[in-house]
Amino acid sequence: MASEMGTRRPKYQRIADDLKAAIESGEYGPGDRLPGESALATQYDVAVLTARQALKILRIEGLVETKKGAGARVIEFHPIRRHGIQRIAREQWGTGRSIWSADEERPTTIDVHVDTVAAPAHIAHMLELDEDALVCTRSRRIAVADRPVLLATSYLPLELVEETAIMRVDTGEGGTYARLAELGHQPTHFREEIRCRLPLAEEAEGLAMPLGRPVIKLCRTAFDSDLRAVEVNEMTMDSAAYVLEYAFDA
């Protein structure tokens, strides 16, 4: 049955599968160029358009990058392993380390923009604020080894953080959560919701990724000891750049 199903797969998918297997086996390593469209078309006795579709699949899955006139090159990028539980433990930010340092040691660029806006309706609901209440937004674009991987915007009640270090681009050691703790609103409970979808045009542009590759949409809400929501963080992640890891005891 499996072999029958395999022969029914579109030719471009079978070519893509062969190329992925060659990449995984090490036949093609990071930086190596794959056979071009014409060479693949000849090898598999298919149209050039079929070979092009096969290479497009690899690009969407984040295995290769393609440049006009230069063919497809295997990407030299190891996915970020996001430690979903350890990274937001108090032992991380409470000792002055950034949340991000729990995931990645490669050169990282973080562009931060801080603003004050009227809370979007769903954010006001999650933070239990009045309609059109003001919130502080902290928007970040994070790149690892010069590759954009994450867009994130945190929303915090303005009444809680106004005229504090949280309103600055650099919040200091331990980041936002350490500053919230100093304000008497230490995060003690978190909730994360995860889903996947295709990116909006501005998300694909911000992450420098193809529109056909899904993004991971992750929304984290931080609660203080009174179970008051003190931050909502909406993240858009390049699905090809991440492995989400959650390790916990039974």
Residues 146 and 55 in one domain: no
- The pLDDT-based confidence of 6 (bands split at 50, 70, 90) is low
Range of the domain at 235: 80-245
CATH number of the domain enclosing 224? 3.40.1410.10
Q: Does residue 224 share a domain with residue 195?
A: yes
- The residue out of 74, 89, 114 marking a domain boundary is 74
Mean pLDDT of the chain, nearest integer: 90
Residues 187, 240: one domain? yes
CA–CA distance, 98 with 52 (Å, rounded to integer) = 42
Q: List pLDDT tens digits, range 192-212.
A: 999 999 999 999 999 999 999
Last residue of a domain, one of 23, 56, 74: 74
pLDDT(98) > 60: yes
Is 145 contained in some domain?
A: yes
pLDDT digits (tens, 9 = 90+) for 149-171: 999 999 999 999 999 999 999 99
Given a cut of 50, whether residue 2 has pLDDT beyond it is: no
Residue 161 resides in a domain: yes
The answer to whether residue 250 sits within a structural domain is no
111 and 189 belong to one structural domain: yes
Residue ending a domain, choose from 46, 74, 102: 74
Give yes or no: residues 65 and 175 share one domain: no
Contact predicate 149/103, CB 8 Å: no
At 1, the pLDDT band (50, 70, 90 cuts) reads very low
* Residues 93, 179 within the same domain: yes
- Of 171 and 247, the structure prediction assigns the larger pLDDT to 171
pLDDT tens sequence across 20-48: 999 999 999 988 999 999 999 999 999 99
Kindly state the greatest CA–CA separation across the chain: 68
| Residue 125 and residue 201 in one domain | yes
Residues 159 and 240 in one domain: yes
84 and 65 within one domain: no
pLDDT of 152: 96
Q: What is the pLDDT of residue 7?
A: 60
Q: Are residues 56 and 135 in the same domain?
A: no
Per-residue b or e along 195-226, where b marks 16 or more CB atoms closer than 10 Å to that residue's CB: eeeebeeebbebbebbeebbbbbbbbbbbbee
The contacts of residue 84 (CB under 8 Å, 6+ apart) are 192, 244, 245, 246
What percent of the chain stands above pLDDT 70? 94
What's the pLDDT score for residue 145? Answer: 86
What is the tens place of the pLDDT at every residue in 49-71?
A: 999 999 999 999 989 988 777 78
Same domain flag for 113 and 210: yes
Supply the pTM of this predicted model: 0.85
Read off the pLDDT of each residue in 87-107 and give the average, rounded to a whole number. Answer: 73
User: What does the pLDDT average to over 128-133?
Assistant: 92
- Asked whether residue 84 is assigned to any structural domain, the reply reads yes
pLDDT tens figures, 215-245: 999 999 999 999 999 999 999 999 999 998 8
CATH classification of the domain holding 20: 1.10.10.10
How does pLDDT run across 75-84, given as a tens digit for each residue?
888 888 888 7
Residues 215 and 203: their CA atoms lie apart, in Å, by: 9
Domains: count for the chain: 2
Say yes or no: 121 and 217 in one domain. Answer: yes
Query: How is residue 75 written in tokens?
Result: 């990407």
Q: What is the pLDDT of residue 85?
A: 78
Give yes or no for a contact between 135 and 128, defined as CB atoms under 8 angstroms apart. Answer: no
